[in-house]
Each structure stands twice: as structure tokens, then as C-alpha cells.
Structure 1
């Protein structure tokens, strides 16, 4: 329900909106709290600069917009759903994105669930599909480590 949300994440290259509630996001993760606080302060500073130039300000608060370009839309949508509800359906297509988000934003329970899912998937012969998905997030350290582990190559990433 976008009208009930007060933060919008603009995800991916096409800036697809994914909506959230600041209070829930901030209380579930210190990292999300810091991210929201940083963008809120930045928006307030920009707003005060515009206010001093124009002299008037809208009485309605603006929704906070946060750009998130390094996740797929569906993976980030699932992650935000998890943050709000504490539940998510992990599958072979979203496990790497959820793992990267869980590490980046500090959700050890989701990280553990993703790690266990990856291990079970490897045991069932799905390692190739996981590796292919991991390449989509090769800019994330956890994905780099997973690629090295799955390909049994020495670490070459910094």
C-alpha cells in the first residue's frame, strides 16, 4: 500500500519504486536506520535550501526517496517484504540477492537461512544455477566469496 508508506526505494537502473515504512525499517536494522537518517538529513538540507530561495514550503511532508541501484527489483522487493513481515520465500532465483542484502543491511537470521538454502541446493545439484546468480552480484563481497568457493578458485577480488 504505497499511500501508507513514507519511504520509497528507487531500485535498479529503471528506478522502480518499492515502498516501505521508515519506523519499521529503522527498528529492524541499525544499517537501515543509518541509511534512512542519512537520506532524511540530506533531503531536509536540500529542502531548506529551496525554502530560502522560494520563501514558501509545502505543509505536507515529502516521501523520502532512496536510490538503490545494485539490486534486482524482485530481490530487493522480497528483502523489504522480509524486513516488514519477518517472512520471505527463498528460492533459487532470489537467494543470492537476499543473501547480499542480509549481509549489507545486517540481518543475520536471513543470512543464515540463505546460507543453509545454498548448501541444500548444492547438495541437490543446483550449484551451477547459484553460481550463475552469484555473478549478477559480483560487486558484493559476499557474492565474490561465494563465487570463489563454488569455482574453487583462489580469491582474486579485493
Structure 2
């Protein structure tokens, strides 16, 4: 429910909005805490340097923090944010590498463990080709690079 959220992530090159709650994100992850604070300070500085005319109305979402996240697929990041908020996530072979990368980047060891366990099970079920293809989408991230070097 975007109207109840106070942070919007613009995900991927298409900048698809994925909504979240700053307090929950910051509580679950120190990295999110730092990211939110950093963007909030930048936003406040931009607002104070901009002249706003008295005739201009503020939008209903003017207090919403907007953060661009170009490195993740939309559905993968949506699942990741759902995990951060609820502690639950649907992991499948199409999204596991992205979730693993996000879990490393935002320091969520419980999700990282779940992703690694899923990857180990996938290898035994002939899903290596799909894992490799997905890992290549995230080849600029260290966990994906490590996975690519470990897979046959």
C-alpha cells in the first residue's frame, strides 16, 4: 500500500516503484539505516536550497523518500523488500541469485543462508544452467561472481 509507505525505491533501468517503510527497513538492516539516512540528508539539502513559491502545492507524497536502485530486477527487489518487512520470501531459481546479492549488500544473514541452501538444492536438481544465466545478470556483484566461479 504505497500511501502508507514513506520510501519508494525506483528499481532497475525502468525505475519501477517498490514501496517500503523506513523504520522497518532501518531496524532490520544497518545498511538500510545508513542508506535511508544518506538519502534523507541529500533530500533535505536539496529542499532547503530550492526556492518553493507559496503558490505551489505540495504533493500528498512529498514526505516520501525516493531512492534509485538500478542494480536489481523489479520482482527480485520487490521480493527482497517483502522479506525485510515480513521475514518471508518466495525463493525460486529465477530470483535466488538476486536475493543472495541483496542479502549480502544489505547484511541480512538469515536470507543469505536461505538463498545458499536453495542454490545447493538446485544444483542437485539440474538447475545449474538457469543459475548461471541468472548469476550473469548480477555479475557486477561479488556473490554472483563467487557463484559463477563455483558452478561447473
TM-score normalised to the size of structure 2? 0.93
Tell me the alpha carbon deviations over residues 29-77 of structure 1, each in whole angstroms, 9 at most, x when there is no partner. Answer: 0000000000000000000001xx3465859752100000000000000
Mapping for residues 1-158 of structure 1, pairs under 5 Å? 1-50=1-50, 53-54=51-52, 58=58, 61-151=62-152
**CA 1:59 to 1:14, structure 2 compared with 1: closer, same or farther past 3 Å?**
closer
Hey, what's the Cα distance between the residues in 2 that align with 1:87 and 1:78?
9
Gaps of 5+ in 1: 152-158
Tell me the alpha carbon deviations over residues 72-123 of structure 1, each in whole angstroms, 9 at most, x when there is no partner. Answer: 0000000000000000011111100100000000000000000000001101
Q: State the structure with bigger RCO (CA 8 A, min sep 6), 1 or 2.
A: 2
CA drift at 1:126: 1.0
Hey, what's the Cα distance between the residues in 1 that align with 2:130 and 2:109?
24
Hey, what's the Cα distance between the residues in 2 that align with 1:99 and 1:87?
14
Tell me the alpha carbon deviations over residues 109-152 of structure 1, each in whole angstroms, 9 at most, x when there is no partner. Answer: 0000000000011011111111111000001011001001114x
Hey, what's the Cα distance between the residues in 1 that align with 2:150 and 2:85?
32
Gaps of 5+ in 2: none
Hey, what's the Cα distance between the residues in 2 that align with 1:96 and 1:125?
16
Hey, what's the Cα distance between the residues in 2 that align with 1:43 and 1:67?
13
**How many residues get paired?**
149
Structure 1 residue ranges (4+ consecutive) displaced by more than 2 angstroms after TM superposition: 53-62
Hey, what's the Cα distance between the residues in 2 that align with 1:110 and 1:5?
23
CA RMSD of aligned residues (A): 1.5
